[in-house]
Each structure stands twice: as structure tokens, then as C-alpha cells.
Amino acid sequence: MPLSRRAFLKSSGLAMFGIGAAPAWLSRTVYAAYDRGNRRRKVLIAIFQRGAVDGLNVVVPFGDKSYFALRPTLAIPAPDGTLQTAQDLDGFFGLHASLAPLLPVFRDGHLAIVEAVGSPDPTRSHFDAQDFMESGTPGRKGTPDGWLNRALLPPRSPVRAVAIGPRLPRSLRGRNTAIALEKLDDFQVRDAHMASPFEAMYDSSADALLHGTAQETFEAVKLIQSVDKQPYSPRNGARYPPGQFGEALQQIARLIRADVGLEVAFADIGGWDTHVNQDRQLTNRLNEFGQGLTAFYRDMGDRMADVLVVTMSEFGRTAHENGNRGTDHGHANVMFAIGGDVRGGKIYGQWPGLAPEQLNEGRDLALTTDFRDVLAEAVSEHLGNRNIAAVFPGYSSPKYPGIIA
């Protein structure tokens, strides 16, 4: 039975400080100690690329001849060693040049790529497809909570699940405590005299919806403020790109480094819905995406041994380009897994091919790996939650691709 935080404080002889009055460094130490009392805490970070990224131009199947026929203006040329072409990975696939910073991570064996992966549900609605991916139950709208929330093991730190953004994403909603925040230093009642009356009125409120959220909020405020007061500079020369995504990853990095008990985190990055003139837009988005992930990886350094980053997007885009130098809503896509325990440097999943008869509904990359196989492996083999049937209800025997060592 895990100790509650209060019980731990008491048994540590620290109860004299009282919870509210406990200095910030102290509660942090308590969580860190608690972590050490068990095993090293693993962290799983889910990145959602909202808007359906064009996987075929992110990891380019230059070895498949049909690719060039389908995309007369959008195809990225086979590698010739320059940045105008794909960056070779294995002689068949290559990365978009904007992701070149991730090449060393791939070669070091810490980036695994899963191809032709996605949701088996055929919807091409962003809204539905995101909902299905985040709930972890394709085709079922009634699922009340998100996969990442269900992936959490019994309660520990009030900041064990954090989403960077204005609102809690579907993935993290559910009965386990999870918080959304945009910036660490905004996460408090600014007028110190008002903090405790606000806390008192919400703490005892009969309004179930507001009360529940507020209770978690005030617990978390104390811990997060303890993090914010420490100066932070990224290590190992890591440079986060300007913009929301880099900012989000940096805040996650701070939380991990501060040992406040983070177990799962969520961040999203939008702008992938490239119906028109996609080249420039995709290049810009991938620059930010690749630089962000690389900076995070560098910044974490050795700590990356405990951290796994998984990326996903609601569906892929049409295999053929449309008439506006863009692509429309498609089906299967690509996922990345980055981490110390990743068996990287390799492309996973069976390639279904892009010949006309190989396409899904005659238009999209077909699906050969269910996204739940990847996420289930991450939850079970990385986070250590083996109760996959509860995390992905109705999907009890996933086939792990083998990305985690």
C-alpha cells in the first residue's frame, strides 16, 4: 500500500511543519525520497501532433517508387547527401531535412520509428480521430476518460500527470489527478493573502466539479512553486526553439529535473493540417518539432534513461497530393519513440506499399500497426503498468512492436 504524502511526512518526523507550511524544498525532498524508496520513477511523455501530420513527407519512403508518382510536386527526393533531399535512415526511408537534428539520436539507437501505424477507425474527422486516439478506444465515443490517465498507477504526487496547455487534453482526463498548466510561474494564487481563503472555500465547497479540481490544484500549486523558484538553464548546450512547443518541453524538463514526482506528461503541437501549399508549412512545423525534441533529449542527458517520449497524430494524409499542392485527410501515419530504453535506430512496422492496389480505400497509406500496440508497450514495458486491459479496454492482447528494451 503506498504511503500517502501526509503519512510520509508524519513518519519522517517532519509533520511539525504542517502541510501548508512545509517549505517548498521540503515537500520536494519528500517526493524525491519517496521515489527513491521505490524504484526510479519512469516518465512517459505523449506528444500529440494535432491536425494530422503528413507522415509520408516526415519519414519519406523513397525506396517505394509509387511515392514519386503519387506526389509529382510534393515528393521529397531520394537522399543525395544534401539538405534538399531526404536524410537517409536505412536505404528505404529517410527523414525530412527539417528533422536532421534527430539523425544522431536515431543513429545512437534512441529513436525508434513505427511506420504505417494509426487508428483502425476509418474516420477522417479531426475531431473524432483525435478523440478516439486520446480516449484509446477507436470507434467508441462513450469512453469517459483518456488512455494516459488510465495508464497511471495508484496515486502518488499531485503533479504526477501534467499537460502543458490551457486545458486538460482528452488523453489525461479521468479519475486520476492530472493538471493542466501553461507556465509554471503562473500556477498560483498571485495575491498571497487570498490563497488561503480561496483554498478554504473551494476545499469545503459542495460543488463537486469545482471542488474536486480545486483540491488537486492547491496541492499541486505548492509543489510547482517549489520548482519555479529554482533557476533553470538547459544542460549540455540544449537550445529549445522559440514558441509554445519548445516552451512546453522545457517546462516538462524542469518538472522532471525537480523530482516532484512526474510520471506522465502531455504536450501538443498544431498546424499539421496541410491542405494547401504544404511544403513551407510542413517545413516550418517540422523545424520546431525536431528542434524541440532534440533539445529535450540533450537537456535530459543521462536522465533520458528513465524518460520515454512518444509522438502521435490523429491520422495520416492522402498518399496522392491534391490540386492545391497539399494533401487531404488520410489514414495510417508514423509514430516516433525516443528514450534511453528505446531500441532505436530502426524502423518498425510492416510497410504496406503505395501501389494503387495497396492503398487504403484507393487513396491512403494502409494501416499495419494499431497505435495502441505502441502505446500499450510504452505503458507496460516503460511505465510498468501491466494491466493493459484496463488502459485499452476492448484491446486486451496488443502485439508489442518491441520498441522498448
Partner 1 sequence: MCVVLSAAAGFGARKPAPDAPFRAKLDRNSHALHAVERLTFGPRPGDVEAVRRLGVKKWVDLQLHPERIPENPELARRLAPLDSLRMSTLELQQHYPTRQYARAVMNGRAEMPDDPGARRAIENMIARFKAKQDGTKSDAQVTDLREIVAGDALRTLRTGTREDKRAILVSLQPDQVQQVAEALPPGMRAGLIAIAPTSVRRELLAVNSPERVIADDLAEARVYRAIYSNRQLEEELTDFWFNHFNVFLDKGADRYLVSEYERDAIRPYVLGRFRDLLEATAKSPAMLFYLDNWQSMGAHSDAAQRARRDRGLNENYGRELLELHTLGVDGGYTQRDVTEVARCFTGWTIKGPVEGGGFFYNDRWHDKGAKTVLAVAIPAGGGEEDGERVLDILAKSPATAHHICLELAQKFVADNPPERLVARMAQSFLKTDGDLRQVLKTMLDSPEFWSHGADRAKVKTPFEMVISAVRASGAQVDDAHGLVNEIAKLGEPLYRKLEPTGYSSISAEWVSSDALLDRMNFAAALATNRIADVHVDTAQFNGKAADLIAHALLDREASTQTRAAIEEADPFLVPGLVLGSPDFQRK
The minimum distance between CB 364 and partner 1, in angstroms, equals: 11
Please state at what angle helix 208-228 crosses helix 244-257, rounded to 10 degrees.
80
End-to-end CA distance of the chain: 29
Phi, psi of 370, rounded to the nearest 5 degrees: -75, 135
Site track 352-391 with partner 1 (rule: CB under 8 A), x = hit: ---------x---------------------------xx-
For residues 4 and 396, which CB has a smaller minimum distance to partner 1 in the complex? Answer: 396
Number of amino acids touching partner 1 (CB under 8 A)? 60
Q: Which of residues 54-113 bind partner 1 (CB under 8 A)?
A: none
Which one of residues 166, 231, 233, 302 is an interface residue with partner 1 (CB under 8 A)?
Answer: 166
Q: Which of residues 219-248 bind partner 1 (CB under 8 A)?
A: 220-221
For residues 33 and 389, which CB has a smaller minimum distance to partner 1 in the complex? Answer: 389
Which one of residues 12, 66, 85, 213 is an interface residue with partner 1 (CB under 8 A)?
Answer: 213
For residues 116 and 129, which CB has a smaller minimum distance to partner 1 in the complex? Answer: 129
- CB neighbours of residue 250 within 10 Å: 21
Work out the burial of residue 50: count CB atoms within 10 Å of its CB; fewer than 13 is exposed, 13-18 middle, 19 or more buried: middle
Closest listed residue to residue 249, CA positions, set 300, 287, 286, 283? 300
User: Which one of 77-85, 135-143, 249-257, 337-345 is the stretch in contact with partner 1 (CB under 8 A)?
Assistant: 135-143
Mention every residue, 6+ apart, whose C-beta is less than 8 A from residue 206: none
H helices within 71-140, ranges in order?
103-107, 126-135
Residue 317 found at the interface with partner 1 (CB under 8 A)? no
Cα gap 156→178, rounded to integer Å: 11
Residue 186 found at the interface with partner 1 (CB under 8 A)? yes
Please report, for residues 190, 201, 221, 226, 331, the alpha-carbon distance to residue 193 in angstroms, rounded to integers and kept in the order given: 9, 14, 15, 18, 53
Residue 179 found at the interface with partner 1 (CB under 8 A)? yes
Q: 172 and 271 in contact (C-beta within 8 Å)? A: no
Residue 154 found at the interface with partner 1 (CB under 8 A)? no
Site track 248-267 with partner 1 (rule: CB under 8 A), x = hit: --------------------
Residue owning grid cell 510492416: 350
Closest listed residue to residue 93, CA positions, set 316, 361, 348, 311? 348
User: Which one of 11-19, 31-39, 200-208, 244-252 is the stretch in contact with partner 1 (CB under 8 A)?
Assistant: 200-208
Which one of residues 19, 194, 305, 405 is an interface residue with partner 1 (CB under 8 A)?
Answer: 194
Cell of 109: 539507437
Cell of 260: 516532484
User: Which one of 102-110, 195-203, 236-244, 345-353 is the stretch in contact with partner 1 (CB under 8 A)?
Assistant: 195-203
The minimum distance between CB 389 and partner 1, in angstroms, equals: 5
Please report, for residues 95, 250, 294, 405, the alpha-carbon distance to residue 101 in angstroms, rounded to integers and kept in the order given: 10, 17, 6, 23
Please report, as ranges, the residues that interact with partner 1 according to CB under 8 A: 122, 124-128, 141-145, 150, 166-168, 173-175, 179-182, 186-191, 193-194, 197-198, 200-202, 204-207, 209-211, 213-214, 216-217, 220-221, 270, 275-276, 322-324, 328-329, 361, 389-390, 393
